[in-house]
Amino acid sequence: MDGEHDLVDFAVDYARQKGAAYAEARFERQEPEEFILKNGTLDALYVGADRGIGVRVLAKGGLGFAATNTMTKAEVRTIVDDAVRMAKGAKRETPITFAEEEAVTTEWTVPEQTKLADVTVEDKIAAFREIDRAVKELGFKIPSRYFQLSCNRITKYFANSEGSRIRSYSPRLRTSFFLTVVQGADAEQSHRDYGWSGGWEALRELNVTQRVTDEARSMQRSLLEGKKSPEGKMDLVVGPQVSGIAAHESCGHPTEADRVLGREASQAGKSFIGPDGIGMKVGSEVVNVCDDPTVEHAIAYYATDDEGVRARRRYLYKEGKVNEFLQNRETASAFGTRSNGASRAVNYNVEAIVRMANTFVEPKDHTIEEMIEGVHFGVYMKSFMEWNIDDKRFNAKYAGREAYLIENGEVKHPVRRTVVELTTPTFWSAVDAVGKDLEFEAGFCGKSDPSQALDASLGGPTMRLRNVYLR
Amino acid sequence: MEDIAAQIVDKAQKLGCQDAVADYVQNRSFQIRFARNEPVISNRWRESYASVFLVHDKRVVATDLKDLTDIDGALERLVKIAKASQRNPEYAGLAKGSFRYAPFRPDPKVLALQGGADFVEAAVNGALAEGAKECAGSFWRYEDEHVLATSNGVEGHDHRAGLYLSIRALVSLESSGHGIACASRLSRFDPEKAGRKAGRVAALAKDPKLGQAGRYTVVFDPLIFGTLTDQVARRLSAYSVVSGFSPFGKKVGKRVASPEVTMWDDGSEESLARKKFDMEGVPTKRHALIQRGILKTYLHNTSTAKRFKTKTTGNAGLIAPDAHAVFVKPGDWSKDEIFSEVKDGLWLTNTWYTRYQSYVKGDLSTIPRDGIFHIRKGEVVETWKDLRLTDNLVRLMKNVVALSDATEQMMWWGEVSLPNFVPYALIKDVNLTRSAE
């Protein structure tokens, strides 16, 4: 690693010599292993060996970024020359500036009880097969069983021209499944995704086998006993998977400062929240939504971001009002504030931009039973399959996967394809109770060009919404 | 370029691999992203790597080698992993070479380009001239060079390059339009036209009203029709079919679209994805996917072809087959005739966030973005907003009434993942929903 660190330090120093007002360089090594088990067959095993250096500079008010995976001084010199030349050539009328930050020198690692590197390929495959075997033993008709296990070990060294020097190591495990359960001509499909920062203990901690078999059972029950979901205004109780996706899509994304400023307008879009939107009422007073990179073992855990800023919890919505935007140094400067450590890149070869990490509805003190007991007639939607939201993050849809009718405070038969199609303020304003059963699932968050699909956690507890229109 | 691909294949065979593929790639692309009418960052890549696929005793492993200083060591580790892995009984080998490839060289003027500020400026100025206030997007000069070698005698070289610009123009948050420019030749690259299209739609989309849910006859602009055809092509990968990600299972030879629809995949035709060969080295060529509404084939590599008792279509990727570039046969309607046909309907210009409730059934929704227009008697009478297209992929394709007589190359962030050459389309009985009050 010393040679690679030397190249990073050299890149920063050389960029300053070439006239960059600010320079940063990031070495990143990623060692992914991906297993795909399709209908019981190990379809493919992908073992990556990825590494390189990305350099970003600020010069004459413009930003330039260049990357290489050829780890020589001459090559690094070439990409620095490229980055500085491009930055100077931007000829912007309004110079880009960065908010001030203190220099950080630190080293952080995510602990692994059982190191991912110490688990053999045979053991990984065997554990994976065990999950598939448990699903098969249920005896349901499941023509498509698709499991993916991804392990990645990410090592970084970051340096900037202000004196920051940061080393980090982040092992991650992600497991996802996609099932198709059939009954006659009818079919239910489900996709779920769980993630962990840490070691091989993830498989035990995430309780994947139990989750997969529970999901298959609920799919079978939906097919056998499911009835049409009622239509009209009624109460809705949503499970952690639904509150998690809503937190990510309609709280996290619209509070990304780069989106608010229009930098993502052509790709992931803008935001219904304007630059002066802090304090805007979006939900009821019981709604607190956070984004927190420091949640232990969540898949998007980090201690410092990819601009070298220390991570901290951000309250995006507090008591139902917009409280804080996610900021990197560029957007923070435009807003006259400080970065809150939200800058991340998916790899060495792309710029770091404003990103969510682990986004969740802050739990409160209700039990699930209490929330359901308070419903005369409604739907308990535990999970979803189809979802989407418009590019200003105002109109969202979540279509139920596992859902049940609630009558007189009791959970009854399954209902199929409950459709929650509401605006962001309508959804969050209807929340009157928030549970204490916080759970996380993993997701890939898409943004930027070139597209950066980044690890994210989506979390929340069970919540109750009053008098919303369902189909 | 160095003969790294052949070295990798030789070494893999010496280590006991029965099959090996190596695609040595040099990426020299660059990009300018812009927002609020100005460049926000310029990016440039200098990357060299080898995508490698090895088979040892029917055990399949793949990798992208970024560290090319110790290839032997990396392959030894990879073969060790392969030996510890499990057999894939569905693996059926690689295509047997050698093959002859049609000669092709990218436009030297594209290769000689060192910047793109003028293109960005032309696109932005075009949009502003049409009434837009704010523009964002990206300009790309793609360039990558491939040397492919396989253990079945394939040796191929392919130099690929192209120009691309995507621009979104806004008059306000809810009044916007999108334009795309794609070209393999500098002389055919017209970013100003893309900017003008985006600006015109944005200006026309001023002061939108809340849209009315219902079933409508809809004019699909090429960009949003390209989203549908892109979905069709992706769901036609044999890999999608066997994994449960497709509504086209057991549909070969059956009607999956209206008789107006004929589409094919062709990696050999000029497009931003033009390539001489797939990852097994099979020469790319035209393959009919849908002929007058009837499904003709899935997209195959050698292994999926064997499973479906057919031949490879030359669509192998590193692991799964996928489309190269999609071409829709133009219809015989002019664009004006298509709009005139709409008595009371909609014109949708773009969409995003296409997601499925059931892949095997094709039930999906997607959210139109940018201009949504209410049309009466062929004329735009109102601008709408906040609608969602909630329907079924196969049903939409079966409801195509007419296609315009010219196609445009569309490719866009997220939704149109590969080049789709698409016309305007008229689709009847399209279901639009909206958020409840």
The length of chain B in residues reads 437
Residue of A nearest to B361 (CA): A187
Same domain flag for B192 and B277: no
Instruction: Spell out the domain ranges in chain A.
Output: 2-225, 228-470
Which of B202, B217, B235 is where one domain is finished?
Answer: B202
How far apart are the C-alpha atoms of A454 and A443, rounded to whole Å? 8
Torsion over CA: B182, B183, B188, B191 (sign): positive
Q: Does B343 touch chain A (CB under 8 A)?
A: no
Q: Distance of alpha carbon B304 from its chain centroid, rounded? A: 21
- Supply the mean pLDDT for chain A: 97
Is the domain of B169 the same as that of B223? no
- Report how far residue B288's alpha carbon sits from residue B262's, in angstroms, rounded to the nearest whole number: 8
User: Which of B41, B55, B134, B140 is the best residue to mutate to test the A interface, defined by the most A CB atoms within 10 Å of its own CB?
Assistant: B41
C-alpha separations of B206 from A18, A155, B174, B175 in Å: 46, 49, 8, 5
Closest-CA distance of chain B to residue A64, Å: 5
- What is the tally of structural domains in chain B? 2
> Quick one: pLDDT band at residue B41, thresholds 50, 70, 90?
very high
φ, ψ dihedrals at B214, nearest 5°: 155, -175
The radius of gyration of chain B from alpha carbons, rounded to an integer in Å, stands at 23
Q: Which of A67, A386, A392 sits opposite B45 (nearest CB)?
A: A67
The mean pLDDT of B209-223, rounded to a whole number, is 98
Alpha-carbon separation of residue A145 from A82, A135, A150, A177 (angstroms): 47, 9, 17, 8
Residues of A within 8 A of B65 (CB-CB) are 49
B77: nearest CA partner in chain A:
A47
Domain finish residue from B143, B172, B202? B202
Q: Annotate B288-300 with three-state secondary structure.
A: EEEECCEECCCEC
Q: Are residues B403 and B312 in the same domain?
A: yes
pLDDT at B437: 80
Average pLDDT score over residue span B37-53: 97
pLDDT the model gives residue B311: 96
Produce one character per residue of B182-205: b if its CB has 16 or more CB atoms within 10 Å, e if not. Answer: bbbebeebbbbbbbbbbbbbbbbb
B383 shares a domain with B265: yes
Same domain (yes/no): B318, B195: no
Q: How far apart are CA B149 and CA B1, in angstroms?
A: 13
Count of other CB atoms within 10 angstroms of residue A137 = 9
Does the ipTM exceed 0.90?
yes
Report the mean per-residue pLDDT for chain B. 97
Residue B154, min C-alpha distance to chain A (Å): 22
Report d(CA A314, CA A292) in Å as an integer.
6
Question: How many Å from the N-terminal Cα to the C-terminal Cα in chain B?
Answer: 62
Angle (CA) A370 A371 A374, round 5°: 85
Is B156 in the same domain as B229? no
What range defines the domain where residue B390 resides? Answer: 208-437
Is B153 in the same domain as B251?
no
What type of residue sits at position B38? E
Q: Is the pLDDT of residue B57 over 50?
A: yes
CATH number of the domain to which B17 belongs: 3.30.2290.10
Is B386 touching A (CB cutoff 8 A)? Answer: yes
pLDDT in tens, A82-130: 999 999 999 899 999 999 999 999 999 999 999 999 999 999 999 989 9
Position B2 scores a pLDDT of: 63
Please provide the CATH number assigned to the domain covering A2-225.
Answer: 3.30.2290.10
B41 and B56 co-located in one domain = yes
Does B396 touch chain A if contact means CB atoms closer than 8 Å? no
Together in a domain, B273 and B374: yes
Among B246, B353, B360, pick the best mutation site for testing chain A contact (most A Cβ within 10 A). Answer: B353
Residues B24-40 as b/e (b if ≥16 CB within 10 A, e otherwise) read bbbbbbbbbbbbbbbbb
> Domain check: are B197 and B52 in the same one?
yes
Q: Which tokens in the block code for residue B72?
A: 């032997």
| DSSP code for A96 | -
Convert the pLDDT of each residue in A314-369 to its tens digit.
999 999 999 999 999 999 999 999 999 999 999 999 999 999 999 999 999 999 99
Q: Mean of the pLDDT values across residues A196-216?
A: 96
Considering only the beta carbons, identify the residue of B59, B87, B170 that sits closest to A265.
Answer: B170
Q: How far is A184 from chain B (nearest CA, A)?
A: 14
Kindly report the nearest CA distance between residue A142 and chain B, in angstroms.
10
Judge contact between A360 and A347, C-beta under 8 A: no
Question: What's the whole-number mean pLDDT along residues B208-226?
Answer: 98
pLDDT band, residue A1 (cuts 50/70/90): very low
| Residue B97: per-residue pLDDT | 87
Q: Work out the pLDDT band at A2, boundaries 50, 70, 90.
A: low
B39 with A90: Cβ contact below 8 A: yes
Q: pLDDT tens across A119-150, in order?
A: 999 999 999 899 999 999 999 999 999 999 99
Share of chain B above pLDDT 70, in %: 100
Q: How many CB pairs under 8 A join A and B?
A: 250
- The residue of chain B nearest to residue A185, with distances taken between CA atoms, is B361
Minimal C-alpha gap between A434 and chain B (Å): 23
B212 in the same domain as B198 = no
The single-letter DSSP state of residue A248 is: I
**Which residue, B202, B226, B245, sits at the end of a domain?**
B202
Shared domain for B155 and B262, answered yes or no, is no
Nearest to B47 among A93, A264, A349 (CB): A349
Strands (E), B85-154: 134-150
Radius of gyration of chain A (CA): 23
